[in-house]
């Protein structure tokens, strides 16, 4: 008997929302196939294809786990099943099912159930009759080492008799769901070195949007290490999103002007409005349809509903805030799951903390904020900051 890892030669890719896209479904499927191939490029060339309304990846016995781990990260996928594809022979189908059950018995399974699909109607047995027959065949060979439980089995053996081959699989590794990257437009995300913005970026990418990022800094008041931390976060996100362009923008002169000429307690709101104005302009230049931030109601002073109203006022593009109603603990859970948390908690100063007032205003009034900014040459400050932009492409090394 071969080990379980020696059995698998195919991955069955399960998708969710794509299945209800009607006549446009093939467009989403084709994009998903392309994204899977791109995700697997660092591992080599893999045959990814569509057949019988499903997507498959051909693997071999020594790499299926590594490939499966990468495939499950592709947005649009809800699960990946390692399976065994064999010749079109009903006896071979039964023997393959037995091999998988033998492996599960070795792993400690006590109960099982067979679920069958008859794709080729020339087989004289119905799907239900197949399940009964294959289950009986398994029991006659394993004796009392495992029992049938049709209601709550530890193992479900899924057997398919198809027009060109047979297929057997048991396990399903969950994916992240969502929609394939590139099927919902493009967004510009404000990426800092904190916990929230990487999670927000990931969540919007999960809904099918291509992502570019803008990172604001005040070098030399913030260090080169602070910028590298953000680029490392972008590289981590690129495991899911593919290569990400990060536009690094120095707003030191803006912060100096705000600090020198405007009310100290309002500086955070003014800074945030300038960031949004610059992001809006860059987003338009980069043909983005939306802006993404990691803001959550009440988390900090600038994220009260009054502060959000003031920052929203400078944007004509939609501003997506996927974390807006989430608790910090829930955001941290996602950050840990996607691998950004440990990077985010490395202590480094950002442009906001360097110039932040001791007592920031929590209920700013838009009219007053706009009146204060009349003291500044807003257009010159924006153009000056945009002239500092340096673009770095971040991807998995």
Distance of CA 351 to the CA centre of its chain: 27
Query: Which pLDDT belongs to residue 269?
Result: 94
80 phi and psi angles, rounded to 5 deg: -130, 130
C-alpha span between 202 and 298 (Å, rounded) = 22
What is the CATH topology of the domain spanning 4-176? Answer: VC0802-like (3.30.2130)
The residue length of the chain stands at 397
Query: Which pLDDT belongs to residue 351?
Result: 55
Nearest to 216 by CA among 172, 306, 282: 282
Cα–Cα–Cα angle for 85, 91, 97, rounded to 5 degrees: 55
User: What is the residue whose two structure tokens read 């037995």?
Assistant: 98
Across-strand partners of 316?
none
> Quick check: 183 and 35 in contact, CB under 8 A?
no
- Residues contacting 379, CB < 8 A, separation 6+: none
| Tokens found for residue 182 | 């590139």
C-alpha span between 326 and 225 (Å, rounded) = 29
| Tokens found for residue 242 | 């593919």
Q: Packing angle between helix 267-285 and helix 378-386, nearest 10 degrees?
A: 60
> Quick check: 14 and 80 in contact, CB under 8 A?
yes
Q: What is the pTM (predicted TM-score) of this model? A: 0.90
Burial letters 352-378, b for 16+ CB under 10 A, else e? beebeeeebbbebeeeebeebbeebeb
Query: Which pLDDT belongs to residue 18?
Result: 78
Q: Is 232 exposed, middle or buried (0-12, 13-18, 19+ CB in 10 A)?
A: middle
Across-strand partners of 112?
148, 155
CA distances from 231 to 104, 244, 247 (A): 43, 10, 10
Query: Which pLDDT belongs to residue 4?
Result: 41
C-alpha span between 141 and 255 (Å, rounded) = 76
In which region does residue 270 sit, left (phi positive, over 0), alpha (psi from -120 to 50) or beta (all else)? alpha
Pick one of 1.10.10.10, 3.40.50.620, 3.30.160.20, 3.40.50.20 as the CATH number of 186-394. Answer: 3.40.50.620
> Quick check: 111 and 153 in contact, CB under 8 A?
yes
| Tokens found for residue 155 | 């193992």
Residue ranges at the known binding site for ATP: 190-191, 215-216, 272, 294, 303
| pLDDT tens, the chain, 397 aa long | 344 445 899 999 999 887 667 778 888 999 999 999 999 999 999 999 998 778 999 998 788 999 999 999 999 999 999 999 999 999 999 999 999 999 999 999 999 999 999 999 999 999 999 999 999 999 999 989 999 999 999 999 999 999 999 999 999 999 999 999 999 999 999 999 999 999 999 999 999 999 999 999 998 888 889 999 999 999 999 999 999 999 999 999 999 999 999 999 999 999 999 999 999 999 999 999 999 999 999 888 788 999 999 999 999 999 999 999 999 999 999 999 999 999 999 987 665 556 667 788 889 999 999 999 999 999 999 999 999 999 999 998 7
Query: Which pLDDT belongs to residue 336?
Result: 98
Peptide bond into 220 cis (omega under 30): yes
> Domain-by-domain residue ranges, the chain?
4-176, 186-394
Q: What is the CA radius of gyration of the chain?
A: 27
């Amino acid at each position: 008997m071969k080990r379980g890892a020696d059995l698998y030669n195919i991955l069955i890719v399960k998708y969710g929302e794509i299945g209800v896209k009607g006549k446009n479904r093939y467009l989403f499927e084709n994009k998903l196939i392309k994204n899977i191939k791109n995700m697997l490029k660092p591992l080599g060339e893999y045959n990814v294809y569509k057949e019988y309304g499903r997507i498959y990846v051909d693997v071999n016995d020594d790499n299926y786990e590594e490939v499966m781990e990468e495939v499950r990260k592709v947005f649009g996928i809800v699960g990946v099943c390692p399976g065994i594809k064999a010749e079109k022979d009903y006896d071979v189908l039964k023997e393959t099912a037995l091999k998988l059950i033998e492996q599960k018995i070795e792993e400690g399974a006590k109960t099982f159930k067979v679920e069958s699909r008859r794709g080729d109607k020339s087989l004289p047995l119905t799907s239900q009759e197949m399940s009964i027959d294959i289950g009986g065949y398994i029991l006659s060979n394993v004796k009392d080492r495992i029992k049938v439980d049709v209601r709550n089995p530890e193992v479900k053996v899924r057997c398919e008799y198809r027009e060109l081959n047979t297929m057997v699989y048991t396990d399903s590794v969950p994916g992240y769901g969502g929609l394939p990257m590139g099927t919902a437009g493009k967004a510009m995300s404000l990426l800092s070195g904190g916990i929230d913005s990487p999670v927000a970026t990931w969540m919007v990418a999960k809904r099918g949007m291509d992502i570019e990022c803008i990172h604001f800094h005040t070098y030399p008041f913030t260090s080169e290490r602070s910028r590298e931390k953000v680029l490392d976060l972008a590289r981590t996100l690129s495991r899911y999103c593919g290569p990400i362009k990060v536009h690094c923008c120095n707003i030191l002169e803006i912060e100096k002007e705000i600090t020198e000429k405007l009310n100290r307690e309002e500086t955070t709101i003014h800074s945030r409005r300038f960031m949004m104005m610059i992001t809006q302009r860059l987003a338009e230049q980069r043909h983005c349809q939306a802006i993404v931030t990691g803001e959550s109601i009440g988390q900090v002073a600038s994220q009260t509903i009054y502060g959000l109203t003031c920052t929203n006022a400078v944007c004509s593009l939609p501003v997506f805030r996927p974390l807006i109603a989430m608790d910090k603990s829930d955001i941290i859970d996602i950050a840990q799951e996607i691998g950004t948390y440990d990077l985010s908690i490395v202590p480094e100063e950002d442009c906001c903390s360097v110039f932040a007032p001791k007592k920031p205003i929590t209920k700013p009034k838009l009219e007053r904020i706009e009146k204060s900014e009349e003291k500044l040459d807003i257009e010159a400050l924006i153009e000056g900051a945009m002239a500092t932009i340096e673009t770095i492409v971040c991807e998995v090394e």
